[in-house]
Amino acid sequence: MGLQLIPYNTNYDFVGKKNIIFAILGLITIICLGSVFFHGFNYGIDFKGGLLLQIRTHEAADIAKLRSDLSGIVHGEVTLQEFGSPNDVLIRVERQPGGEEAQMAALDQIKEKIGPNVDYRQVVTVGPKVSEDLIRNGIYAVLWSLVAMLIYVWFRFEWQFGVCSVITLAHDAIIVLGLFSLFQLEFNETAIIAVLITVTYSINDTVVIYDRIRENLRKFKKMPMAELVNHSINETLSRTILTSTTTLLSLLGLYFFGGPVIAAFSLPIIVGISAGTISSITISAPLLLYMGMRSQGVGNGSEPNKAKGI
């Protein structure tokens, strides 16, 4: 017998509480959207442009001294962080006004201030054109992924399922973006990866629940739609919670023991998977109640997907 975190005969009334849940999650979504539009993001060098240096010192690096030495010698903020080991330091410098010559001058000043007793593992200059391309491609990646999910779910199930799944995925993506905006975490390429991982994980949980709803639509043709949806959520609840728990345990290990760089990457994914798990249970399935599925013949014995080989 497999591990059963949730009793088999569980019957939580998710559908009965849907209005309260929608109100709470809607408020959180509005707060996140408001922060994104009015507070914006703390763009990293990937999106803002600037200098990125990875250095290795012969002894454990004194981050505080390095920060003090580099402060004020270039325009804008200079951020330093330990990168993997005490001897490796990642230095980020905001893009300097004055074009490429100003970037090279700032790089020379930094190297002169640090001194010769370090190894330069990586020196990267990110220009404004590259930054604009990254922003545009990141937006396209998220939008096209949502379109692909809509098409996939539409063809596998029905259009009602596709619309509800995209609404759910949009909610999850907004939560992750809101995390970056509200707490001003550095928004770089890994932020886009975190959003894509979130929607990919969320659609997996959603499809499992939708599969059970479709099965029950054919099995319980006279059961009220609200009761059927609630029954389907509870039948898949143990699987959803168990899968998410094991994934989150792995991510928490990375967050606490993987170092600052890995932690910065893990945190938004932890939040995204948590949001995706909650939304799959409390948004994706209850939203189907507003789609008039029974009245349109879905689940009334017509088995519309049978011809598609599903």
Task: Read off the pLDDT of residues 157-209 as tens digits, 9 standing for 90 and up.
Answer: 888 999 999 999 999 999 999 999 999 998 888 889 899 999 989 998 999 99
SS3 239: helix
Q: What pLDDT, in 10s, does the model give residues 269-288?
A: 999 999 999 999 999 999 99
CATH fold for domain 50-126: Alpha-Beta Plaits (3.30.70)
So what's the pLDDT on residue 220? 87
Looking at this protein, which amino acid is placed at residue 291? M
CATH superfamily of domain region 18-42+131-308? Multidrug efflux transporter AcrB transmembrane domain (1.20.1640.10)
Rounded to whole angstroms, the Cα distance separating 183 from 187 reads 11
Strands 78-83 and 50-57: unpaired
Closest CA to 218 of 144, 118, 300, 156: 300
Q: How many CB atoms lie within 10 A of CB 268?
A: 23
Fold agreement (18-42+131-308, 50-126): no
**pTM for the full model?**
0.80
Extract the residue ranges of the chain whose pLDDT is less than 70. 1-8, 128-131, 293-310
For residues 175 and 273, the answer to whether their CB atoms sit within 8 Å is no
So what's the pLDDT on residue 306? 41
So what's the pLDDT on residue 31? 97
Residue 26's contacts (CB-CB under 8 Å, 6 or more residues apart) are none
So what's the pLDDT on residue 304? 42
Domain ranges in the chain are: 18-42+131-308, 50-126
Residue reference for tokens 């990110």? 126
So what's the pLDDT on residue 113? 84
163-176 burial: b if 16+ Cβ within 10 Å, else e: bbbbebbebbbbbb
How many alpha carbons lie under 13 Å from residue 121 in its C-beta half-sphere?
12
Rounded to whole angstroms, the Cα distance separating 46 from 49 reads 6
Q: How many CB atoms lie within 10 A of CB 153?
A: 24
So what's the pLDDT on residue 149? 86
